[in-house]
Chain A
Amino acid sequence: MERESELLLVSGLRAGDTRAFSKTFEAFRPRVFAFLLRLSRRRDTADDLTQETFVRLAKASPTLAEDTRLVPFLLTIARNVFRSHRRWEMLDLSRIFLFGSEHDEAVRAHDEKAHASRALREVEVAMGTLSVAHREVLLLVAVEGLDHDAAAKVLAIEGDALRQRLSRARKALAEELSRRERRATVKVPQGGLP
């Protein structure tokens, strides 16, 4: 979205224009949802947290700064609602019984895409094995394309800390992918396929 259109939306949000809010929801919902699905790895959680993200945007809309950049703003809210949800989830003892039986729904959503490639599926699976801190920094910088300053603000860390975290996350992803590749190679019989 062009900056001018974004500023018009922000102006509409500040003024209480419901059409501006609907346009904002339409324009940014897929990005927020995909970010939350890849963070949480669960579709129902991503649905709920996407709704909560836009509810919080709605509540904050009268006091938005005129020059608000909507993508980092929404991703900051999305990350915060995910963190709150995760803290609550850790206290929910009933989830212990579900441990290990849950499917990675980001991978499932990937599989539902007709044009999805196997290589990208491996990346999607590997992303699911990373820690949340690594996953979120990769999602913000590599998938969402935020610059380092914006990503650091979303994560509430300094620029240097972001660069270090990003470097560690890249390394962890590369290691996981090569581990998966080695595992796939070992499964092939030594004499080769008939």
Chain B
Amino acid sequence: MTDHDAAKPPNDHESSRDPAHPAPEDALRGLPAFDMKPSDASKAERAALAAFEHAHGRGDREVRLGAGIARFAVPFGLAAVVVVYLSWAVSAATALQQ
């Protein structure tokens, strides 16, 4: 585009002046609609719905259940390991003393 073109005030309807030669932009309005394939659309919808649920503080039930179990299981597991270790250490020390 030249400077002259840039300076020229564009006219939204200048293309429609000659009905015998419709502007290419007018043809754009007639372009057909496209859509995703149904399988791709449902996949995309599932992903977006999961994000929607997450954004509103819901969803991911399995993940949250897993996190809840892990929150309790990890301290209990650690405590069990410590108890087992201590009991082994005490019994070993007792055996050495004898």
Knowing A18-B53, A61-B55, A120-B27, say if A109 contacts B34 (CB, 8 Å). Answer: yes
Chain B 36-55 per-residue mask, 1 if CB under 8 angstroms from chain A, else 0:
11001101110111011111
CA distance A106 to B10 in the complex (A): 29
* Stretch of A92-100, A168-176, A184-192 that contacts chain B: A168-176
Q: Is the CB of A16 within 8 A of B52?
A: yes
Q: Is the CB of B51 within 8 A of A55?
A: yes
* Stretch of A2-10, A29-37, A80-88 that contacts chain B: A29-37
> A129 in the interface, Cβ–Cβ < 8 Å?
no
> B23 in the interface, Cβ–Cβ < 8 Å?
yes
Chain A 60-80 per-residue mask, 1 if CB under 8 angstroms from chain B, else 0:
111000000000000000000
Q: Is the CB of B52 within 8 A of A123?
A: no
How many chain A residues sit at the interface, stated as a range, is 35 or more
CA distance A116 to B34 in the complex (A): 12
Q: Is the CB of B32 within 8 A of A51?
A: no
Q: Is the CB of A34 within 8 A of B28?
A: no
Across the interface, A177 reaches (CB within 8 A) one of B5, B24, B44, namely: B24
Across the interface, B25 reaches (CB within 8 A) one of A18, A116, A142, namely: A142
Knowing A58-B48, A168-B1, A174-B24, say if A143 contacts B32 (CB, 8 Å). Answer: no
Chain A 133-169 per-residue mask, 1 if CB under 8 angstroms from chain B, else 0:
0000011011101001000000000000001101110
> B56 in the interface, Cβ–Cβ < 8 Å?
yes
What is the distance, in angstroms, from A184's C-beta to the closest C-beta of chain B? 15
**What B residues does A173 contact at CB under 8 A?**
24-25
> A11 in the interface, Cβ–Cβ < 8 Å?
no
CA distance A76 to B65 in the complex (A): 36
**What A residues does B15 contact at CB under 8 A?**
170
CA distance A180 to B48 in the complex (A): 41
Knowing A22-B49, A142-B29, say if A50 contacts B36 (CB, 8 Å). Answer: yes
**What B residues does A46 contact at CB under 8 A?**
36
Q: Is the CB of A55 within 8 A of B48?
A: yes
Q: Is the CB of A168 within 8 A of B31?
A: no
- Residue from B28, B35, B47, B51 having most chain A Cβ neighbours under 10 A: B28
What is the distance, in angstroms, from A46's C-beta to the closest C-beta of chain B? 8
> B6 in the interface, Cβ–Cβ < 8 Å?
yes
> B66 in the interface, Cβ–Cβ < 8 Å?
no
Across the interface, B44 reaches (CB within 8 A) one of A16, A51, A163, namely: A51
Q: Is the CB of A16 within 8 A of B56?
A: yes
What is the distance, in angstroms, from A132's C-beta to the closest C-beta of chain B? 16
